[in-house]
Structure 1
Amino acid sequence: MLFRLFILGLALASTASACTIPVFRFALDRWEADAFHLVLPPSVSQDAAVSDLLRPLRANGKANVSITSAPEATEAALKYSRESDHLVWSGALNAQTLPMLLDSPARQELLKKILAGDSVIWVIVEGGSQEDKAEAERIEKRLGFLEQVAALPVQNPNDPDSQLGPGPPLRLKFATLRLRRDDAAEQPLIRMLAGPEGKVDASTTSFAAAVFGRGRVLGAWPLADLDDASLEDACMFLVGRCSCRLKNENPGWDILMNVDWEKALAAVKADAPPEPVIPQEPAASNAPVTVTVTADDHVTYVAVKWPWQWTAGAVALLLSIAAVMLLRKK
């Protein structure tokens, strides 16, 4: 509930922001991924074979990971950050385990969807039961509906405060990616998706996580708790205007990905067709217009659009009244 209220507050605040770039695209353009912390025991850090494996990561490597040696450590461990003690993985670091920490088939699929311009990818981690399958299908159906009724903020290509960086054309797409909870190749990723606070037990709980930007996770929810309203809140926040530009003031955490984002986005930009200019809203008529969009039994949106001429006239009238009152006092 607190998370929903926080998302609602950010969404309401975004309406006053001058920047019209959606949250998911602002994150892709400007938010660097937080570094994970790989801790090595002395025996591993002094091993020549392991040093050769780690050399590409130390010299301005692509992966968002920092590496240190700890005298008290008895085995290698991957943590969310230098400040966090929450383990993602621990064990023997070698030519078999290191690649699994840095990448996986699901992360390659996430990268493909992000570079294609998908707004958010809901990774559904399920246990294989019929209940899990039914919940996954419900989520996919709901996302398909939301994709039809949602809209991106109108973009002004001449606004210097709302310029997109290199990357795919701006589009609205709510995608899904299903994983089995017992997939051995995806265990580090599944733990990363579950989050550093331990609110979701990735080993026993089927859940869904919303991924956007450069591998940023907005949140993770057990499938049984992820109702239509929570799905809607998260999706509408991510496609709404980015009101808070500081990454650490937004909810979420990152996953470890072995990607040079600047080069990857520049390559997409070079191959992408020109981005279409989204037209501004047409001029209003001389009468207020009431727009009602009925989604389903869950929620109905009602918005009243007033012509700008009426607003300007009202402001002018109030200023005239105030001027008359001041003259009378004199």
Structure 2
Amino acid sequence: MNPCKQSFPSKATALVSVALFSIALVSISWAAVADACQVPVFRYALERWPADNYELVVLHDGPLGDAESKLVEHLRASDHQSSVSANCGVRLIEAATLQDEQLKSAWAKHGKSGKPVLVSLYPVTAQEVPDRLIAAAPLNSESVGNLVDSPIRQEIAKRLVGGESAVWIFVPCGDPKQDEVALGNLTRFVQQNEQSLELPEQEEVEDEQALLEQSAIDLRLDFSILTLRRDDPAEQFLLKMLLASEPDLEGLDQPMAFPVLGRGRVLYALVGKGISELTIGLASRFIIGPCSCQVKNQNPGFDLLMAVDWEKKIGTAKLSDPLPETSAAPVLLTIPPGRNAK
């Protein structure tokens, strides 16, 4: 089987209007196409895109107490070097030695009592997030509790390694009328795409049938929806990761939808009237289209922090080939808005 050489969207940038309507414009780059790989984007992402590591930084002034040390050990027992294999690393930094302005600001705001502060940062490769800082809070059982893992994240992982093309996270705003319309649209158009779209033809892939038989994961077109309530105490860090991923989301009192594929990669947010047939269709066609061999971080989105041993769950039999060493220069395109689109 030849290495994949076809590309797919490589960069998304949201621009929000300050007028009556907020409009997100997403710019996507495509590399030139050589011999197209017929493995769908979602499957290539699952097999070949390791999740980027978050940084969990403990700021402290002096030695940690016993309870605080146990909390740090709890975090380290889940990091990327542990058997839990969460995509994160843990660092301890003395407040007096801080050089990073963002960390200095977090300590100044939350470290006034002199007690340790836990700061969570997006991966350094998450180029599209407006600010790497997700949250800063006193180091305690509450701030550590569901930081690395949560029930919804485990369910997302279960569905993705079970063969689903993508899982849509629906975040209600609390207004029954808005939420009913948005969830109805999301459900209807996700089901419509599931029924009308088709996976790339697989007959061109050498030894395709043998690979499918060896793989532990079925290759199929399958979408689902999970609802994340804003008041769910077990999902507060997941909610923060989603809402902090774009500059304006936390201030919007509208329902939202986030498509997740691969190893927990969120493409972007659809908000309010932007949860439409057009934008859901664009995201769905991207997700199930022929794969790209561009590096992951030249493509839209960011990875969620999840405690999943992806390699173990995926297995060794893979439909895709590794990333080739070279790629062609991108050609910029613009797709319609994903937020508040009519």
Do they fold alike, i.e. is TM over 0.5? yes
Larger RCO (alpha carbons 8 Å, 6+ apart): 2
Corresponding residue for 1:56? 77
Aligned alpha-carbon RMSD (Å)? 3.0
Corresponding residue for 1:328? none
CA gap of 1:251–1:67, structure 2 versus 1, over 3 A, is same
List gaps (5 residues or longer) in structure 2: 1-11, 15-24, 96-106, 112-116, 320-342
Corresponding residue for 2:302? 253
Corresponding residue for 2:196? 149
| SS of alignment partner, residue 94 of structure 2 | coil
CA gap of 1:42–1:259, structure 2 versus 1, over 3 A, is same
Asked if the contact 1:126/1:181 (under 8 Å) is kept, the reply is: yes
| SS of alignment partner, residue 315 of structure 2 | helix
Identify the match of residue 130 of structure 1 among 150, 156, 177.
177
Asked if the contact 1:122/1:209 (under 8 Å) is kept, the reply is: yes
Asked if the contact 1:120/1:211 (under 8 Å) is kept, the reply is: yes
Taking the aligned partners of 2:62 and 2:147, their CA distance within structure 1 comes to: 16
Taking the aligned partners of 2:151 and 2:246, their CA distance within structure 1 comes to: 25
Identify the match of residue 67 of structure 1 among 75, 78, 90.
90
Deviation (angstroms), 1:130? 1.9
| SS of alignment partner, residue 101 of structure 1 | coil
CA gap of 1:14–1:183, structure 2 versus 1, over 3 A, is farther
Worse overlay, 211-220 or 180-189:
180-189
Asked if the contact 1:20/1:154 (under 8 Å) is kept, the reply is: yes
Does 2:121 align with 1:79? yes
Q: Which amino acid aligns with 2:90?
A: I
| SS of alignment partner, residue 170 of structure 1 | coil
Q: Which amino acid aligns with 1:149?
A: S
List gaps (5 residues or longer) in structure 1: 270-274, 276-330
Describe the superposition over 1:166-191 as per-residue Cα deviations: whole angstroms up to 9, x where unpaired. 54111101211112222222121112
What is the count of residue pairs matched by the alignment?
265
TM-score (norm 1): 0.71
Asked if the contact 1:77/1:91 (under 8 Å) is kept, the reply is: yes
Corresponding residue for 2:218? 169
Taking the aligned partners of 2:80 and 2:301, their CA distance within structure 1 comes to: 28
Asked if the contact 1:147/1:174 (under 8 Å) is kept, the reply is: yes
Deviation (angstroms), 1:218? 0.7
Corresponding residue for 1:300? none
Identify the match of residue 194 of structure 1 among 243, 247, 251.
243
Describe the superposition over 1:272-323 as per-residue Cα deviations: whole angstroms up to 9, x where unpaired. xxx9xxxxxxxxxxxxxxxxxxxxxxxxxxxxxxxxxxxxxxxxxxxxxxxx
Taking the aligned partners of 1:143 and 1:101, their CA distance within structure 2 comes to: 30
Asked if the contact 1:120/1:173 (under 8 Å) is kept, the reply is: yes
Worse overlay, 25-34 or 185-194:
185-194
Asked if the contact 1:181/1:190 (under 8 Å) is kept, the reply is: yes
Taking the aligned partners of 2:299 and 2:167, their CA distance within structure 1 comes to: 18
Asked if the contact 1:210/1:217 (under 8 Å) is kept, the reply is: yes
Deviation (angstroms), 1:45? 7.4
Q: Which amino acid aligns with 1:259?
A: V
Q: Which amino acid aligns with 2:87?
A: N
Corresponding residue for 2:101? none
- Max Rg structure: 1
CA gap of 1:207–1:263, structure 2 versus 1, over 3 A, is same
Taking the aligned partners of 1:20 and 1:36, their CA distance within structure 2 comes to: 31
Deviation (angstroms), 1:67? 1.5
TM-score (norm 2): 0.69
Taking the aligned partners of 1:26 and 1:15, their CA distance within structure 2 comes to: 17
Deviation (angstroms), 1:86? 3.3
Q: Percent identity?
A: 35
Taking the aligned partners of 1:95 and 1:2, their CA distance within structure 2 comes to: 36
Asked if the contact 1:39/1:69 (under 8 Å) is kept, the reply is: yes
**After superposition, where does 1:214-225 map in structure 2 within 5 Å?**
214-225=263-274
Asked if the contact 1:102/1:258 (under 8 Å) is kept, the reply is: yes
Deviation (angstroms), 1:88? 2.1
CA gap of 1:6–1:21, structure 2 versus 1, over 3 A, is farther
Deviation (angstroms), 1:57? 3.4
Corresponding residue for 2:37? 19
Taking the aligned partners of 2:236 and 2:94, their CA distance within structure 1 comes to: 27
Deviation (angstroms), 1:265? 1.7
**After superposition, where does 1:34-113 map in structure 2 within 5 Å?**
34-43=52-61, 46-47=64-65, 48-57=69-78, 60-61=81-82, 62-72=85-95, 73=107, 74=111, 75-82=117-124, 85-113=131-159
Corresponding residue for 2:206? 158
Asked if the contact 1:77/1:87 (under 8 Å) is kept, the reply is: yes
Describe the superposition over 1:12-57 as per-residue Cα deviations: whole angstroms up to 9, x where unpaired. x686542111111100001011111111112597343224313313
Taking the aligned partners of 2:76 and 2:292, their CA distance within structure 1 comes to: 39
Taking the aligned partners of 1:103 and 1:140, their CA distance within structure 2 comes to: 26
Taking the aligned partners of 1:18 and 1:134, their CA distance within structure 2 comes to: 39
